[in-house]
Structure 1
Amino acid sequence: MRLHFTVIYDACVLYPAPLRDFLMRLALTDLYRACWTEMIHDEWIHNVHKKRPDLKREDLDRTRALMNAHVRDSLVTGFEHLIPSIELPDSDDRHVVAAAIHGGATLILTFNLKDFPEELLRRYNLAVQHPDDFIFDLLEQHPASVCEAAATHRRSLKNPPKTADEYLDTLLKQGLTQTVGLLREWKVVI
């Protein structure tokens, strides 16, 4: 096991599904420990259901259960008492920082960098990173593991299956521009 550091996933990186699924595959590499909370699950599921009311709630709850079951030590609990003491521009984001502190995370993975100002996070020994920067850094440091996670993710897509180029185009639509640029060099193994 190589869990060097812990990363908490903000709800915004868990929706849409292609990014969430890739992040789950990366979490299974044991390059880091990924974590989240039931509150984070509730938030991404609410946002999915708001945009996609055609999706069944039980299917989204099944995804939640699979995430919790398959990523080791991922669910942070018992952090709620810390929420009132957290200072952030948006009080609705305090639960993420509280969970990160309680769960031993050093990094918050989010698209909403402005909601987690670095100067405030330093108080809690936390940093914030965009998913593209995070995955790109992992890819530079551990190309074989990240490429295998991408290949496993691509092979799992059945409806419809995707070629390597189609898969990389999907990741590009998730805002992973640097990552895809580097993954294209490894396309043959994806």
Structure 2
Amino acid sequence: MTQRVFVDANVLFSKTLMDWLFLLRLENPAMFQVHSTEDVFAEVIANMRKKCPTAPGHRTAQRAQLIRKNMDEVLQGFPSDLDFTGMDRHDYHVHAGAVFGGADIILTCNDPNDITTTPETEPYEVIHPDDFFLLVTDSNPACVVPIARNQIKYWSGKSNHLQLDQALLKAGCPRFAFRIREALAHIAQLP
């Protein structure tokens, strides 16, 4: 059964995490679908602007377009009166969007307690990208090398970039970084 994954802003704010999420989605179309809300998109853009106040407007516009293009569904709203046990009241919108959208998974870098302190009563599971990327590639190991090859081709034309595994380490995905390091070693041995 295809899993519905509600994507939080911190995953979409990180170019590394966003890219890997969308690339894994493209290689595994029947495994999971991604959805989110306008509120999440607004948070991504606000954080981009906060990080780099003088960035040209096309940078945030391009990110917004890329996110929308790769989402399976953009939820236009969610209820304001759901029970919420999360420790971070600013994450109510994540909980409500996930419940309203019928999510099986909330993909976030947050502590799960920020979103719910009663996970056993929720219709979703809160999962960190490191764990999620491993779950996807455990289910379809054959997808790793083609994605890594395409990433190598893409980044080889860019200056000042980190190696794929280093970028994942920096983005908080050490175990998935190790998996990619193994794939890179495999690719290096191919003719």
Question: TM-score under structure 1 normalisation?
Answer: 0.84
Give me the whole-angstrom Cα distance separating, in 1, the residues matched to 2:37 and 2:151.
Answer: 23
Are 1:77 and 1:99, in contact at CA under 8 Å, matched by a contact in 2? no
Are 1:25 and 1:150, in contact at CA under 8 Å, matched by a contact in 2? no
1:129 aligns with 2:96: no
Paired residues, number? 182
Point out where structure 2 has 5 or more consecutive residues left out of the alignment: none
Give runs of ≥4 in structure 1 deviating > 3 Å. none
Aligned residue identity for 1:107:
I
Aligned residue identity for 2:10:
C
What whole-Å deviation, never above 9, does each CA across 1:74-124 have from its counterpart, x for those lacking one? Answer: 312232xx23323122221111111112222111111112312352x4333
- 1:112 aligns to what SS in structure 2? coil
1:177 aligns with 2:174: yes
Give me the whole-angstrom Cα distance separating, in 1, the residues matched to 2:165 and 2:60.
Answer: 25
Give me the whole-angstrom Cα distance separating, in 2, the residues matched to 1:99 and 1:129.
Answer: 16
In the other structure, the counterpart of 2:58 is: 58
Question: TM-score under structure 2 normalisation?
Answer: 0.84
Are 1:34 and 1:74, in contact at CA under 8 Å, matched by a contact in 2? yes
What whole-Å deviation, never above 9, does each CA across 1:117-166 have from its counterpart, x for those lacking one? Answer: 352x433311101110111121222111244334333432332286xx81
Give me the whole-angstrom Cα distance separating, in 1, the residues matched to 2:179 and 2:105.
Answer: 23
Give me the whole-angstrom Cα distance separating, in 2, the residues matched to 1:156 and 1:40.
Answer: 27
What whole-Å deviation, never above 9, does each CA across 1:4-60 have from its counterpart, x for those lacking one? Answer: 101111111112212222212122231310111111011111111111123223321
1:16 aligns with 2:14: yes
Point out where structure 1 has 5 or more consecutive residues left out of the alignment: none
Aligned residue identity for 2:178:
G
Q: CA RMSD in A?
A: 2.2
The within-5 A match list for 1:69-148 is 69-71=69-71, 73-79=72-78, 82-87=79-84, 88-113=86-111, 114-117=113-116, 119=118, 121-148=119-146
* Percent of aligned pairs with the same amino acid: 29
